[in-house]
Chain A
Amino acid sequence: MKKNKSRRSFIKKAALGTAAFGGAPYIIASKGNKEILLKREYLLQEHTANDNINLALIGSGIQGIYDTSTALKVAGVKLVAVCDLYSGRLARAKELWGNDLFTTRDYREILSRKDVDAVIVATPDHWHKKITIDALNAGKAVYCEKPMIQKFEEGAQIIEAQKRSKAICQIGSQGMSSLGNEKAKQLYEDGAIGDMVLLDMYNDRYSSEGAWQYPIPADANPQTVDFDTFLGNAPKHAFDTTRFFRWRNYKDYGTGVAGDLFVHAFSTLHYILDSKGPNRALSTGGLRYWNDGRDVPDVTLTFYDYSKTDTHAAFNASFRVNFIAGSGDGGGFRLIGTEGAMEVGQNSVTLIRSKLGKIPSNYSMIAYTEAEQ
C-alpha cells in the first residue's frame, strides 16, 4: 500500500467531501459524530440467453438454502438441480423451488449434467474438497462454502484443481463482499485508524440453535438418510442421526467454532488489510455446557500474531466465541489502530477517533512538589 496512513492525510481526504466511484459506495467523510449513508450502484446489465446461468445446489441444509435463495435473486440465474443425502431435504427443495427440479442423493449425477453451469457446495466441511475438485474437473464454476478446507493439506489440492481447470471458484465468506467491509477497507487504506495494533473479535451465543443443536426430523432413518455416504472418508460409525444433522459438533466432519465463525472474521480482516494471514496462534477453551456428546469445545479463545508486511504493521488478534454466554447473544469485530478504531459489520462501519493524551495530568503530577509541577 502506497497510501500515506497519517491522520493528516485522512483528514485532508475526508475534507474533499463527496467522491464517487463507478459501482462503489459514496464516501462523504467528515469530522466526527455524523451518520453517513453508503450506496451501492449496480450496473444495469442486459442479459441475453447466453448469459443465463444454470445453478445446482449440493447440500441443501440451512446454509445451502440461504445461499440458493440469495443466488436466485441475481438476474439470469436458474436453479435446475439439488442434491442431498436426506430425502426430506429433497422434498423441501421441491417445495421451495418447484417440482421441475432434478433431485438426487448422488452429487455425481449433478456434475454429469451438461445443463449445469455452476454449483454451490454447502455440504459438511469434510466433503468440501472432494466435491469442489470433482466439480472443477467437470468444468463447473464452484461456490464452495466456508471453511474451504477441513484439513490443511486439502488447500493445495483445491488451488491446483482450480488452476488446471481454469473454472471460476469462490469461497463463501459472504460478508467480505458487503458495503460495510468495502468501506472499512477504503478507510483503512486512507489511514483512518493509523497503524494496525489489535483485532478484537467476539461472538456470544445463547441458544441451542446457535450452539449447533439443529433440529432432527422425526422421519430420519436408514431409508431416508444415506449415512454411509455422509461419512465419506471420515472414520466408520454406526448410523447416528445426531452426527448427521449436527455434524458441526464432531471433529470428524466439522471444524469447530474456528471453521464456522473465525473464518468469516479472517476473510474480512485479510480483505481489509490485504493480509496473507497470521504467523502463529495460541488457543484455549473447553466444553462448559453443551454436554450432548459433541467432541468440540463450546468456549474457545485464540490469540493470533501477525507479522509486519507491506500492507500492515505487526499486530495481535484476539478471537473469542462463547456458546453459553449468559449475557445473551452479541458480537463484535473491531480493528484498533494507533490513531483510531473501526467497528466493522456488513451494513455499517463505525469509525472512532480519540485524542491521544500527551500532557501529564494531576494523576502523575501529584508526586512532585507544587513548585516542580
Chain B
Amino acid sequence: MAKAYAAMDLEMRSDVLATGETVWKAPYDYKGGHYDHFLTFFNAIRGQGTIVQDPSFGLRAGGAALLANSNLSNEKRAHQHPFCFINNNLIKS
C-alpha cells in the first residue's frame, strides 16, 4: 500500500514549501482603524470616495447580530426551525 501511495505522487514539493506563518503588521506609527474610519467618513463628505459601511451594510451586520438575540430568547429554539434572515424580503434595500 505504501508503494501504491508513493506512486500516486500526492505530495507536491511546492505544497510542502508553502507552509508556515506569515504576519503582516501595521507600523508603530499607524494612526489606526478608528482614524481611517473617520477619514473615510469625512472624505466622503468632501466628495472624495464612497462609504462601504452604509445603512444597507449596517442592517446586514446589525441584523445578523439581532438574529442571535431573537434565537436566544426563544426557549424552544433547539426544536424549532431557525429564524430565517436573508430571505431578501426583510433585508433588501
Tell me whether A122 is interfacial, beta carbon within 8 Å: no
Q: When chains A and B are docked, how far (Å) is the Cα of A276 from the Cα of B53?
A: 12
Of B65, B71, B72, B86, which is within 8 A of A263 by CB? B65
Tell me whether A96 is interfacial, beta carbon within 8 Å: no
Determine how close the nearest CB of chain A comes to the CB of B64; give it in whole angstroms: 5
Ordered by A's residue number, 19 sampled pairs between the chains whose C-beta atoms are within 8 Å are A32-B18, A143-B41, A146-B58, A148-B61, A151-B66, A152-B63, A155-B59, A171-B54, A173-B53, A176-B33, A259-B69, A263-B65, A283-B71, A349-B24, A350-B21, A351-B23, A353-B18, A353-B22, A359-B5
Within 8 A of A (CB), among B37-51: 37-42, 44-46, 51
**Which residues does chain B contribute within 8 Å of A179, judged by CB atoms?**
26, 30, 33, 36
Within 8 A of A (CB), among B16-31: 16-27, 30-31
> Could you list which residues of chain B lie within 8 angstroms of chain A, going by C-beta atoms?
1-2, 5-6, 10-11, 14-27, 30-42, 44-46, 51-69, 71-72, 77-78, 82-86, 90-91, 93
- Which candidate, A34-42, A84-92, A223-231, is the interface stretch facing chain B? A34-42
Q: Which 7 A-B pairs have the closest CB atoms?
A: A32-B20, A178-B33, A155-B59, A148-B58, A171-B58, A147-B62, A280-B82
Give the interface size class of chain A: 35 or more
Determine how close the nearest CB of chain B comes to the CB of A293; give it in whole angstroms: 18
Tell me whether A202 is interfacial, beta carbon within 8 Å: no
Interface membership of chain A positions 1-25, coded 1 if the CB is closer than 8 angstroms to chain B and 0 otherwise: 0000001100100000000000001
Q: Judging by beta carbons under 8 Å apart, are A32 and B33 in contact? A: no
Q: Judging by beta carbons under 8 Å apart, are B58 and A155 in contact? A: yes
Interface membership of chain A positions 226-268, coded 1 if the CB is closer than 8 angstroms to chain B and 0 otherwise: 0000000000000000000000000100011011001100110
Tell me whether A271 is interfacial, beta carbon within 8 Å: yes
Q: Judging by beta carbons under 8 Å apart, are A70 and B38 in contact? A: yes
Q: Judging by beta carbons under 8 Å apart, are B21 and A352 in contact? A: yes
Q: Judging by beta carbons under 8 Å apart, are A175 and B54 in contact? A: no
> Could you list which residues of chain A lie within 8 angstroms of chain B, going by C-beta atoms?
7-8, 11, 25, 29-40, 42, 51, 53, 66-67, 70-71, 73-74, 76-77, 117-118, 141, 143-144, 146-149, 151-152, 155-156, 158-159, 162, 168-181, 183, 251, 255-256, 258-259, 262-263, 266-267, 270-271, 276-285, 297, 300, 302, 304-305, 307, 319, 346-356, 358-360, 365, 368, 372-373
- Which applies to chain A's interface (DSSP): helix, strand, loop or mixed? mixed
Chain A residue nearest in CB terms to B25: A348
Determine how close the nearest CB of chain A comes to the CB of B33; give it in whole angstroms: 3
Asked if A348 meets B10 with Cβ closer than 8 Å, knowing A74-B42, A168-B44, A280-B85, the reply is no
Determine how close the nearest CB of chain A comes to the CB of B7; give it in whole angstroms: 11
Chain B residue nearest in CB terms to A260: B65
Q: Judging by beta carbons under 8 Å apart, are A258 and B53 in contact? A: no
Q: Judging by beta carbons under 8 Å apart, are B84 and A279 in contact? A: yes
